[in-house]
């Protein structure tokens, strides 16, 4: 499977590390509300970030290890959705995700 990513607010990610589970679906929505967590493939991250997180400076980009996810990933309308929570142990890399001066984000390499 391709690399999987999730854009998170730093405070939500820090809370998940304390709780042992990340349950935020997307900005302002939780797993219990949506039924899944929105993920992105590498080529989708910039578009999602520009559309929904433009100018936000309190973000972290989570790169997930698909082999460590405990719930199914389903591709729907071209986007991966995780039908369960993210165990922090499934996160390969959590890096600050900052916008450019114009509020948009750089594409992933």
Provide DSSP, 10-44.
HHHHHHHHHHT-B-EEETTEEHHHHSSEE-EEHHH
Residue 33 inside a domain? The answer is: yes
Look at residue 84 and tell me if it is in a domain.
Answer: yes
Give 85-94 pLDDT, tens digit per residue: 999 999 999 9
- Quick: pLDDT tens for 50-72: 999 999 999 999 999 999 999 99
Q: The whole model's pTM is what? A: 0.95
- The domain total for the chain is 1
User: Is residue 102 a part of any domain in this protein?
Assistant: no
Tell whether 101 is covered by a domain: no
Q: Can you give the CATH number for the domain in which 55 is found?
A: 3.20.170.20
Which pLDDT tens digit goes with each residue over 19-52?
Answer: 999 999 999 999 999 999 999 999 999 999 999 9
Classify residue 73: in a domain, yes or no.
yes
Q: Is residue 104 one of the residues assigned to a domain?
A: no
Q: How far apart are the first and last CA of the chain?
A: 17
Residue numbers of the domain that contains 75: 4-96
């Amino acid at each position: 499977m391709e690399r999987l990513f999730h854009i998170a607010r730093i405070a939500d990610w820090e809370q998940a590390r304390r709780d042992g589970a990340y349950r935020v679906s997307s900005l302002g929505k939780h797993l219990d509300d949506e039924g899944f967590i929105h993920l992105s493939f590498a080529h989708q991250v910039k578009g999602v970030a520009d559309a929904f997180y433009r100018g936000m400076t309190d973000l972290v980009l989570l790169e997930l290890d698909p082999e460590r996810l405990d719930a199914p990933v389903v591709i729907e309308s071209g986007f991966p959705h995780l039908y369960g929570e993210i165990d922090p142990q499934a996160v390969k890399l959590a890096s600050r995700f900052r916008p450019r001066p114009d509020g948009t984000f750089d594409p992933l390499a």
